[in-house]
Amino acid sequence: MSTSWWGPELLPSKGAFGAGEEVALELRGLPASVSVTLWCEGSAVAQALAEDGWVHFAGLPDGRYGAEASDASGVLARTAFAIGAHEMRYGFVVDYRPGRDVAEVVDFVRRLHLTDIQFYDWAYRHADLNGGGELYADALGQPVSLDTVRALVDGLASAGARSLGYAAVYGVGDAELEVWADQVLRQADGQPWGLGDFLTIVDPSDATWLEHFTAELREATSRLGFAGYHLDQYGYPKRARRSDGTMVDLAEAFAAMIETVRAGLPEARLVFNQVNDFPTWRTGGSPQDAVYVEVWPPHTTLADLGRLTTASRRHGKPVVISAYLKPYEADDQDAADAAARLTMATVFSHGGSHLLVGEADRVLTDPYYVRNHQIRPETGAMLRRWYDFLVEHGDYLTDPGLVEVTGAYADAYNGDLEVAFDDVEVGWNPEPGTVWRRITRRGDDLIVHLINLVGQDDTEWDAPKKPAAEVSGGVLRVRPASAAGCRVLVADPDGAGRLVELPVRAVDGLLEADLPSLHSWQLIVVKENNAN
């Protein structure tokens, strides 16, 4: 499918900008006379006129910005960008056919502000990454041209995105198995652990295996220019005996593996897959660059996603939640979009990002990334708004200093900050038919998240959902800390996108603000010190 349906747009030259870097925004399909205004935390901070289809901003302080292109008729397009932020927004590629045009993939990275791209199944074989020459079929028969891989790596680097090669840390195919027979991990009945009928699992901490594995990664870096590696496992076994009788604790083995790979590739960006939270408690603090969790049952609800994301944040690194959305395989794409909104709202509001998007117009529905789903224009427009929102408001979402304070501020006993609707229950936990309310704190700012579950029958994240039932009549009440009062700002990824200040009135010692209608998710910022 051509991606021309993205329509008129404002497109950053990079998925993210380094500290102090000049920002360039490309105008596509927009009038030549438009001006571009930058917004930061609800205030307009800069403006420039387009010239030759581009607009440039130099000397901006590090931070997060929204950008709006407008003329006399109003706002025509908007985007967002971050400068100098330590973050990870993860995407994927799977298509390495000879002669592939990589331009649409690069545009997608720019459009959704992706910082890292996983090169899924680029290698010749799981235990022989580099043995296929320049043109081969991967272990499951997909064509791979290393010229295409290099073109993708170079193109993504030009857009400020890091290319991470996929590498299974303990998977061995039949052709290589004889070499690693002593390191095979076995079940209690003596049968080897494996994946399907084509991979056998070996001890990932074995010194001989790690010497081989690390050398393979170094060779791939030299040949292809990968910035780092996505180190994968399958979530099992937890403990197992090797062929030579040695018992292996996989939590310890994975930690040793990460440390060895880090020592062998000190400059590489490393991301390890803590499948279903195993063993995040042991490996989350290891020398990897993000905490990545692939989610499976029994983590089936929005509450589970929130808990996993919050727990992963304790290691002080960017958090990525990998939650594949099967609803996109069904005919009702509105129901799939509604599920995606609630999943993203949950993960983003708890301080993580979501591995969902990739290629030039795809979303993940399956752990075998080749089985992905091509999105429709409406889904693409929604994803662009939501990823803009994540970038522009990241300080209120992913800042390591954010703390959960709902239980200390909300409800009658506390009486410090609350939201109420006339006919809708506001709840502490995500329950069908309610508005799920959470409060976090960052410095002097209080952040309220409202996630709309009104009209839903359940809170399963990997299930179709009804489009959001608009909820109106919300009122926020806050007890001010000083006579100076406070400011209240609200943002909605399906609304204006940026923070908009609300009028505040004094009522019985509290300050009140009427909230705009709630769609799927609102972010409300209460600035207690009344500062800009």
Which pLDDT tens digit goes with each residue over 414-447? 989 999 998 999 999 999 999 999 999 999 999 9
Q: What is the pLDDT of residue 483?
A: 78
Asked which of 33, 55, 83 is the last residue of a domain, the reply is: 83
* Domain interval for residue 45: 4-83
CB-CB contact of 162 with 269 (8 Å): yes
Q: List, for the chain, all residue ranges whose pLDDT scores fall below the cut of 70.
A: 1-4, 530-532
Which pLDDT tens digit goes with each residue over 494-507? 999 999 999 999 99
Classify residue 462: in a domain, yes or no: yes
Asked which of 66, 83, 100 is the last residue of a domain, the reply is: 83
Classify residue 22: in a domain, yes or no: yes
Backbone CA torsion sign across 84, 87, 89, 94: positive
Classify residue 277: in a domain, yes or no: no
Whether a cis peptide bond, with omega within 30° of 0, leads into 467 is no
Q: In whole angstroms, give the CA distance from residue 415 to residue 434.
A: 20
Classify residue 356: in a domain, yes or no: no
Total domains, the chain: 2
| Average confidence score pLDDT of the chain | 95
Tokens 């994968």 sit on residue: 232
Classify residue 215: in a domain, yes or no: no
Q: What is the pLDDT of residue 2?
A: 41
Q: In whole angstroms, give the CA distance from residue 453 to residue 182.
A: 53
CATH code, domain carrying 23:
2.60.40.10
Which pLDDT tens digit goes with each residue over 272-301? 999 999 999 999 999 999 999 999 999 999
Classify residue 436: in a domain, yes or no: yes
Which pLDDT tens digit goes with each residue over 355-411? 999 999 999 999 999 999 999 999 999 999 999 999 999 999 999 999 999 999 999
Asked which of 83, 116, 145 is the last residue of a domain, the reply is: 83
Beta pairing, strands 372-374 & 63-71: unpaired
Q: What is the pLDDT of residue 530?
A: 62
DSSP 178: G
pTM of the model: 0.96
Classify residue 396: in a domain, yes or no: no
CATH code, domain carrying 484:
2.60.40.1180
SS (H, E, C) 469-514: CCECCCEEEECCCCCCCCEEEEECCCCCCCCEEECCEEECCEEEEE
